[in-house]
Every structure is written in C-alpha cells, then in structure tokens.
Amino acid sequence: MNDIYYINDALRSLTVYRNILDDPVVRGYMEHLAALAGIPGTVHPAHTYGMIYNLLANTENPMTGADPWQNHLLNLLLNDNNPFSQAAFTPHRPFTALWDGVKRDLAILRLAFDASAVTIMRATSHQLSNPLLPGLLDELPIWAAPAPAHDKPGGIEARRLEFKEQLAAAASWDEFPLPLAKYYSKNGCGIWGQYEAFKWQDGMLAGINRPDPVTLSELVGYGDVREEIISNTLQFLHGHPANNILLYGDRGTGKSSTVKALLHEYSDNGLRLVEISKHSLANFPQITAQLRNRNHRYIIFVDDLSFEENETQYKDFKALLEGGLEARPQNVLVYATSNRRHLVRETFADRAKGAPGTEVRAMDSVQEKLSLADRFGITIIFPTPNQELFLKIVAGLALQRRLAIAPEELRRRALHWSSWHNGRSPRAARQFIDQLQGELAMEDG
C-alpha cells in the first residue's frame, strides 16, 4: 500500500518528462492515489475511482486486452515532446546531457507502470471493503500478449506496438534511454510520432488518423510512368539531390493515388506526407519552417493544382519552389498533380500579337505563366489509357479481388461500363470492379 502512495510524490518530481503531469488521466490517477491515502482535502476514493476509469475508457488507441493505465502511460512516454525527444529527432543534435534526468524519470514512470489498473483496483477494493470487486480481478491481465499477426496494425502503429511490448516485458527501464532516443530519432515525437500523414488546416499542421490505404502494388498499369517517381523519391530518402515533381494528365489516371501510395511504401524509411490546398500556398514558409531540421523526409502534396488567369498566387509559389531568399529545407519536396500542363490558364489572346487591349510584350506574360511548371524539375505525364490498357487494369484489379468471372464476361462488362459511365481510366476501372464485386456478392447470396 505504502509503495502505491509513494508514487504520487515521485511523479511530482518528474523533470524531463514533466509534460506527462498535464495529462488528464495522469492527474486523475494521482488524485485517486491521494484519495486512497486519505490526504486532507481529497474527495472520497469511490468518486476518484470512477473518474479515472471513465477517463481511461475515453483514451485514444486502446489496446484490446491490455491494462488500460499501462497502455496509456506507454503512449504518453512515446508521444512526449520534451527536450530529450526533440533532440533525438533533430539531426546532429546532442542529447546525452539529459541522460541522468531521463534515467531518473524512467525509474519513476516504471513505478507508475507497475502500479497498474489491476493493482489500483485491488487497493480500492481493500479500501472500500467492496465484496463485488475481488471476484473481477482474477480475470484482468496486467499486460496483453501481442495480437495475432493478421490483426496487427501496420506502419507507425506497428512500430509503436513493438516498442511498447519491449517496455512492458522488461524487468526495469534502466537501460532504455538509448533505445528511446533511437525510437524518437526514427519515429519522431509529439505529433510527428503519432502520424505519418498531415494536412494544413486552420493555420496549423494536423495529423491524419486514417490516410488513404492505397498501395503501389494495388495500382495496375503505368508501371514505367511510376518508376521515375519512385526513383526520385528513393534518391530523396537516401539524402541525395532530388526534384520537385508535377504529375500531369487527365482526370482519373492515378496521379493522386500514386503520391498517396508512396507513403505506405516508404513510411518505414522516414517518408511523411503533408497535404496542402492551393489556397494554403501562402503559408508555405510557415509549413516548411515546421518541417525543417527533422529526421523525417516530407513530401508536400498539392492535389489538383491550377490557377485561373486572375489568380496571382502562382507568382509567389514560383519563388517558394525555387529562387526565394530562404532556401527550401533539404528534407522537403513538392509533388503536385494537375490536369493542366502549365498549371496557369492560358487563352489564345495571350499569344495574339498586336491585338487591341493586349500588352506590348505579350510573350513576357506567356513566359511568366509557363515558368511555374518549369520550377518542377520533373514532369510526369499520365495519359488516358487506350482500350487495351484499360482492360489490362480491369483484369489486374479483378485478380486482386479474386473475382470469379470468366475473362470474356469480364471484358464484355468492362467495355459496356466504359461506354455508359466514365469512359476509360484507372478510376473508371476501379469503379467498375467495385460495382462488379458487389453484384457478384449479391448473386452468391
């Protein structure tokens, strides 16, 4: 009992990981310990017991079967944005000066980890002399065994789960400062350690909980087109010079899906995706300032980028891409998609010489508009597929979904779909396969 009550004072002395004390669940945990100890001014333990478990029930990323308090504490430890985790996540920045403080804090947090939800429940049962609680305790695990492989998450969640299992299985955390530093270096801390994809909204970067799950292996066709994008991305991830890329082509040809699929292919290599809209381009310097000096490599993704003639943001965007006074961070590239080859709307009047009302040197304006696309070192063209490629994409998607349909019937239905719906494109092929899969499932009952 006394060991449990000692944890309260120990937690209050946290130094490097002191931000953890601001967490509502941690505050509720400490209030419950104080109530169990009968410290003057605290409320009845029954109230704090209900409060702490209500808070735990509403925490994010619960682990099925795991002790909820231990799971939450490990999440806080891996997410914490403190001088130690920040230094580990910043290239060439020393962090060993904080070593002693980190080791001491880990020893304290290990005490709180060992005082699990089950331990606290037993202490509460003893304090309240509640005859209903003891029978429930024998069924509650201290820590869950790893989930079956087919149920395990992928990407950053898989890496977090693996490290949490290591912490939970260790007899103590005395030797974990260096593994923690390596974890922060690879996976990030704060918001950077919780998400792999981000978007700029309301003047700040927000994490995306469920990025589009599309993968490169699911994208049928255009293999030679995507190869140049992949090669450029790999150069970037290995720290070599790489170019901004403009993906140009008709709608539905897989431009956006290709960029999104890069995240799932290379997130383990440190790739992260930041989506911004055309209207947020004015915030480009603020965005890149937050990405600079991070161990991750960021692709800023601008989908469906184009400008009307009266929109002048493209002039600022040119300087931001290349040619501004402040250099773009080496860990940032821009990949944009567009249905317009030169991004800015052009008219025949732009090229008419001597037409009434036009400027004297009209070609200067034309060159100014064309120069925006030139700031992308690589332009990748996604052409509309011919019938043969369209049917190849359909067949590939049907094979991925394991649809039981004869090739001749598949071809007939696909051509009918392309004639009556959205033409021939990878998007139309996917829409057809979605419809076909549903129809076949209904036929099979």
Q: What is the DSSP string of 289-342?
A: HHHTT-SSEEEEEE-S--B-TT--HHHHHHHHHTT-SSPPPTTEEEEEEESSTT
Q: Are residues 318 and 436 in the same domain?
A: no
* pLDDT band at residue 348 using 50, 70 and 90 as cut-offs: very low
Q: Are residues 190 and 221 in the same domain?
A: no
Q: Are residues 406 and 289 in the same domain?
A: no
Asked, for residue 347, whether it belongs to a domain, the answer is yes
What is the H or E stretch that residue 45 is in? helix 45-57
CA distance 354 to 358: 7
* pLDDT band at residue 298 using 50, 70 and 90 as cut-offs: very high
| Planar angle of CA 9, 171, 54, nearest 5 degrees | 50
Q: Are residues 211 and 127 in the same domain?
A: no
Looking at the structure of the chain, the number of domains it has is: 3
User: What contacts 57, CB < 8 A, 6 or more positions away?
Assistant: 68
Q: Are residues 307 and 346 in the same domain?
A: yes
Residue 422 has a pLDDT of 74
Can you give the length of the chain in residues? Answer: 445
Choose one of 366, 382, 398: the last residue of a domain: 382
Q: Are residues 188 and 242 in the same domain?
A: no
Q: Are residues 170 and 271 in the same domain?
A: no
Asked, for residue 425, whether it belongs to a domain, the answer is yes
Four-residue CA torsion sign, 218, 219, 223, 226: negative
| Between 301 and 280, the higher pLDDT residue | 301
CA distance 223 to 205: 33
Q: Is the pLDDT of residue 48 over 60?
A: yes
Q: Is the pLDDT of residue 26 over 90?
A: yes
pTM of the model: 0.82
Q: Which of 176, 22, 19, 16 shows the shortest CA–CA distance to 84?
A: 16
Choose one of 162, 194, 226: the last residue of a domain: 194
Residue range of the domain that includes 218: 206-382
CA distance 77 to 72: 9
Asked, for residue 156, whether it belongs to a domain, the answer is yes
CA distance 191 to 272: 12
Q: Are residues 229 and 120 in the same domain?
A: no
Q: Please count the other Cβ atoms lying within 10 Å of the Cβ belonging to residue 433.
A: 22
Choose one of 167, 194, 221: the last residue of a domain: 194
Q: Are residues 108 and 185 in the same domain?
A: yes
Q: Are residues 22 and 134 in the same domain?
A: yes
Asked, for residue 181, whether it belongs to a domain, the answer is yes
| Planar angle of CA 62, 63, 64, nearest 5 degrees | 115
Q: Is the pLDDT of residue 291 over 60?
A: yes
Asked, for residue 201, whether it belongs to a domain, the answer is no
Most confident of 323-337, 351-365, 383-397: 383-397
